[in-house]
Amino acid sequence: MPLYHYGETHFKLEHMSLNTTASSSLNSHSYDMVEVFAMIMLPLILIGIFGNIISIYVYSRHHMNKNTIGFLLLSLSTIDLIVLITAMPSFGTYKFPFFPGYHEIGSVHTIFSAFCLIYFYPLMCMGKMMGQYIIVLISVERWFAVCRPLQVQIWCTQKNTIRAMTCIIAISILFNAPRFFEFKANLITGVIGFGLAHISKNEWYFYLYYGIRAIIFDALIPFSIIAVTNIQVIQQLRKSNEERKLMTTQQQKDNKTTTMLLVMIFMYAICHFLCTSVKFINLFSHNYVQFQFVIFKIIHHISNVLLVFYSASTFFIYLIFSEKYRNVLSTCVTCRNTDELTVSSRGRQNTKTTRSNSQNGYTAIKNEKT
């Protein structure tokens, strides 16, 4: 039973002829670890795809994406949808034990799985990196909104956000393009062989790509920015809660939005912690420890489940914390026009001018809608 290791996943083909399928069916109720995790992954992925399609619908409404946060959340939902769609054949179906031809060399399932693992997995990694840096953008935007409110309209504009998104997409594609050459697939038999990922032949690639690139650009840079910005945001929110009576209605709504985004960012950090830890261990052990030790293999599979869980959980975070999200979703369920939300809210709003003092002592004139 040969083992083929590729990147951060593990593909195992059991060389079985057609006359051995009957004997394998006798053990059909005995599943290995990879099959169990595949059965966990598939429903999570399907739920996540459904949730992110709804989120794309909600945040594509004009009154939901007219600010930078709405645009970023629309982008994040789109990227999460791509990640989940490409994760389905990479993590969900390729070891799902109930498909016809499972375990058979040359079967449609085996060939399709090999194709997806070679070509879909790199696309998933691109999407994962894009989503990672969208979270960084959200953290920076919230830092400006909460800690530097007088500068937020200067730096956090739609044009600057689109520029940043363009850079993120370009860098993610560039950094993950080598993954297409890590392994080779025989699309007649479905057997996968090593390419650039062969450690003994391409040790430089392991240290450069899975070591330096993964540690610096997938861990140190994003987590450092997220940690620094969100610590300051939390400190400022605590001060704001003490002065709640002095806050305008719009400021209170902004704080609720910030709280929702903080929950999402913390969920991101928790779900990516194990994956990042495995990368550090691989670098210092000079090998893929998840393929050598059972405990790290379990941790590796749990980390993949957590990555999928994060992409699937954002829908529920929006649903719990965002009243605006729930209102748009309710109009969809009740077949009402979403423009009614904007019209009805405008009819109840009166505009008055208020003065607010920032921490730096500046006085700002605001139009407060009540």
User: Which structure tokens are listed for 319?
Assistant: 């649903």
Strands 3-6 and 9-12: antiparallel
pLDDT at residue 101, rounded to an integer: 64
pLDDT digits (tens, 9 = 90+) for 315-324: 999 999 998 9
Q: Does the pLDDT of residue 351 top 50, yes or no?
A: no
Q: Both ends of the chain: CA-CA distance in Å?
A: 69
Phi/psi zone of residue 104: left (φ > 0), alpha (ψ -120 to 50 degrees), beta?
A: beta
Alpha-carbon gap, residue 50 to 302, rounded angstroms = 22
Alpha-carbon gap, residue 109 to 105, rounded angstroms = 9
What's the mean pLDDT in 6-27?
37
At residue 212 the predicted structure's pLDDT band, cuts being 50, 70 and 90, is confident
pLDDT at residue 181, rounded to an integer: 87
What's the mean pLDDT in 200-222?
84
At residue 74 the predicted structure's pLDDT band, cuts being 50, 70 and 90, is very high
pTM: 0.79
Q: For a pLDDT cut of 90, what percent of the chain falls above it? A: 37
pLDDT digits (tens, 9 = 90+) for 100-127: 666 677 777 788 888 888 889 899 999 9
Alpha-carbon gap, residue 185 to 221, rounded angstroms = 34
Q: Residue 178's closest CA among 121, 219, 113?
A: 121
What's the mean pLDDT in 44-50?
95
Q: Does the pLDDT of residue 33 top 60, yes or no?
A: yes
CB 184 within 8 A of CB 193: yes
For tokens 């939901």, name the residue.
Answer: 64
For tokens 């982008």, name the residue.
Answer: 75
pLDDT at residue 4, rounded to an integer: 41
CB 9 within 8 A of CB 90: yes
CB 132 within 8 A of CB 138: no
User: Which structure tokens are listed for 69?
Assistant: 């946060």
pLDDT digits (tens, 9 = 90+) for 259-269: 899 999 999 99
Cα–Cα–Cα angle for 300, 304, 305, rounded to 5 degrees: 115
pLDDT digits (tens, 9 = 90+) for 139-161: 999 999 999 988 888 899 999 99
Q: Does the pLDDT of residue 207 top 90, yes or no?
A: no
| Architecture of domain 3-326 in this structure | Up-down Bundle (1.20)
At residue 245 the predicted structure's pLDDT band, cuts being 50, 70 and 90, is low
What's the mean pLDDT in 278-288?
83
Q: What is the 3-state secondary structure (H, E, C) of the chain?
A: CCEEEECCEEEECCCCCHHHHHHHHHCCCCCCHHHHHHHHHHHHHHHHHHHHHHHHHHHCCCCCCCCHHHHHHHHHHHHHHHHHHHHHHHHHHCCCCCCCCCCCCCCHHHHHHHHHHHHHHHHHHHHHHHHHHHHHHHHHHHHHHHHCCCCHHHHCCHHHHHHHHHHHHHHHHHHHHHHHHCEEECCCCCCEEECCCCCCCCHHHHHHHHHHHHHHHHHHHHHHHHHHHHHHHHHHHHHHHHCHHHCCHHHHHHHHHHHHHHHHHHHHHHHHHHHHHHHHHHHHHCCCHHHCCHHHHHHHHHHHHHHHHHHHHHHHHHHHHCHHHHHHHHHHHCCCCCHHHHHHHHHCCCEEEEEEECCCCCEEEEEEEC
